[in-house]
């Protein structure tokens, strides 16, 4: 992906070094433009180091505003009130605004990352809305300490890649593995449910939510309308995602009953408890005497999904421990028969690098065919899973 990073005169310009490095770490090319005010905050040499390319500070006979106007994305980060307002009324008095006007004329996707005092952000809200109506994408700032602060680097990267993918879909130039997912309503459950014993204690499992989160990121950048149903988890979920909390199995059941009819795809990565305490104390149980707990089985959520929405594409997960590959495939096929899952992702958590909370995994994708995905990062595994979903929905 070819990105033009436009840096303007906000103190948040100091964050753009990390932003450019993160884009490059993910394999994207970055070319930087800077306004005069931005150079008073960070030196152009710093951005040249971060991007690996010479920084554009002024327009020359090389007509840089034309040369770089048709890249995959123009990203203005940080975007000041001055830059936003000038672009809203197509004033081109510096390299950044001249590039923006030229790029908009070519229908190049443009993303703004506002960063300023919150009163200034409120004051330019009409200009922001004007640009949104023109198709310009804004990444919501992080409102903190009376300031509209620079969002997390990961949020900006996710929104940027999503913008490029959606633009390609709209122009009919994307691959089918992206276009088949773009615009779909996707629900992903993640983490492990927590079954309360008393107000302090409960039982749970070792699911971290990492696999579900990587799938959520992949769904988002492919242009899906994403909702996360989150049980207890140990991962940080990006602020750009729509998240609904559902800590217990009962609560997750209630949320799913309401949500499932509106979704095209449900990916059930959450490790949902098979049992819940029959009785729950209203106060903390004393530790001064022996304790015996009685549990009852709970209805399996995944077996109810197709009864609520028979047209949904249902992806189940099957985590087993120290069993043969043949037995694991058999367990996956049993789930398909009992729950009507269209695809089951099966794995053995006893294998090295495949345990709960690990950053890697190896899985077997079971549908009307069986496909093995060797040990890899969960990010790459999520791509393989979505490629398979896309192929099945084609």
Q: What DSSP state is assigned to residue 171? A: T
What local confidence, expressed as pLDDT, does residue 147 receive?
78
Tens digit of pLDDT for each residue in 163-175? 999 999 999 998 8
Please identify, in words, the CATH class of the domain defined by 176-274+295-393: alpha beta
pTM of the model: 0.94
Strand partners, 297: 275
pLDDT band for 236, please (50, 70, 90 cuts): very high
Distances (CA, A) of 273 to 155, 247, 367: 31, 11, 25
Tokens of 378: 């969960």
- Look at residue 144 and tell me whether its pLDDT is greater than 90: no
- Look at residue 353 and tell me whether its pLDDT is greater than 90: no
For 375, left (φ over 0), alpha (ψ -120 to 50), or beta?
beta
Tens digit of pLDDT for each residue in 355-390? 888 899 999 999 999 999 999 999 999 999 999 999
- Look at residue 18 and tell me whether its pLDDT is greater than 90: yes
Q: Which residues contact 186 (CB under 8 A, 6 or more apart)?
A: 219, 224, 225, 226, 227, 263, 264, 265, 266, 267
Tens digit of pLDDT for each residue in 19-59? 999 999 999 999 999 999 999 999 999 999 999 999 999 99
Task: For the chain, give the percent of residues with pLDDT over 90.
Answer: 84
CA dihedral 9, 10, 14, 16 (to 10 degrees): -80
Please give the Cα distance from 231 to 219 (Å, whole number). 19
What local confidence, expressed as pLDDT, does residue 291 receive?
85
pLDDT band for 272, please (50, 70, 90 cuts): very high
Domain positions in the chain are: 2-170, 176-274+295-393
Tell me the average pLDDT of the chain.
Answer: 94
pLDDT band for 148, please (50, 70, 90 cuts): confident
- Look at residue 238 and tell me whether its pLDDT is greater than 90: yes
What local confidence, expressed as pLDDT, does residue 257 receive?
94
- Look at residue 17 and tell me whether its pLDDT is greater than 90: yes
Q: Indicate if 176-274+295-393 has the same CATH topology as 2-170.
A: yes
Average pLDDT over residues 135-156: 90
What local confidence, expressed as pLDDT, does residue 206 receive?
86
- Look at residue 10 and tell me whether its pLDDT is greater than 90: yes
pLDDT band for 241, please (50, 70, 90 cuts): very high
What local confidence, expressed as pLDDT, does residue 274 receive?
87
What local confidence, expressed as pLDDT, does residue 288 receive?
85
Which superfamily does CATH assign the domain made up of 2-170 to?
Flavin prenyltransferase-like (3.40.50.1950)
Average pLDDT over residues 68-80: 98
Please give the Cα distance from 110 to 97 (Å, whole number). 12
Please give the Cα distance from 6 to 16 (Å, whole number). 9
Average pLDDT over residues 323-348: 95
- Look at residue 340 and tell me whether its pLDDT is greater than 90: yes
Cα-flanking dihedrals φ and ψ of residue 54, to 5°? -65, 140
């Amino acid at each position: 992906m070819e990105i033009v990073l436009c840096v303007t005169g906000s103190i948040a310009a100091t964050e753009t070094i990390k932003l450019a490095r993160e884009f490059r770490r993910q394999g994207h090319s970055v070319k930087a433009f800077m306004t005069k005010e931005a150079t008073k905050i960070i030196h152009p040499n710093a951005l040249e180091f971060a991007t690996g390319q010479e920084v554009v500070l002024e327009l020359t006979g090389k007509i840089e505003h034309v040369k770089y106007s048709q890249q995959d994305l123009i990203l203005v980060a940080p975007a000041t009130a001055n830059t936003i307002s000038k672009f809203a009324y197509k004033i081109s008095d510096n390299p950044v605004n001249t590039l923006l006007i030229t790029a908009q004329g070519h229908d190049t996707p443009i993303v703004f990352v506002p960063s300023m005092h919150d009163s200034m952000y409120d004051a330019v809200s009409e200009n922001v809305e004007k640009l949104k109506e023109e198709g310009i994408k804004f990444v919501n700032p992080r409102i903190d300490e009376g300031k509209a602060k620079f969002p997390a680097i990961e949020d900006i990267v996710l929104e940027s890649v999503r913008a490029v993918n959606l633009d390609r879909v709209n122009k009919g130039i994307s691959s089918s593995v992206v276009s088949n997912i773009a615009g779909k309503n996707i629900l992903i459950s993640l983490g492990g449910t927590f079954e309360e014993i008393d107000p302090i204690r409960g039982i749970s499992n070792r699911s971290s939510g990492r696999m579900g989160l990587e799938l959520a990121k992949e769904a988002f950048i492919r242009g899906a309308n994403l909702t996360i149903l989150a049980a207890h988890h140990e991962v940080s979920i990006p602020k750009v995602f729509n998240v609904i909390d559902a800590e217990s199995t009962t609560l997750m059941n209630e949320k799913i009953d309401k949500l499932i009819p509106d979704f095209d795809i449900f990916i059930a990565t959450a490790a949902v408890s098979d049992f819940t305490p029959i009785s729950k104390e209203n106060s903390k149980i004393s530790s001064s005497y022996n304790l015996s707990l009685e549990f009852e089985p709970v209805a399996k959520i995944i077996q109810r999904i197709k009864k609520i929405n028979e047209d949904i594409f249902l992806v189940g997960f099957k985590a087993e421990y120290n069993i043969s590959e043949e037995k694991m495939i058999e367990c996956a096929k049993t789930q398909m028969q009992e729950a009507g899952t269209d695809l089951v992702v099966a794995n053995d958590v006893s294998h090295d690098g495949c345990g709960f909370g690990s950053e890697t995994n190896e899985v077997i994708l079971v549908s009307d065919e069986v496909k093995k995905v060797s040990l890899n990062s969960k990010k790459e595994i999520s791509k393989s899973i979505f490629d398979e979903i896309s192929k099945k929905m084609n």
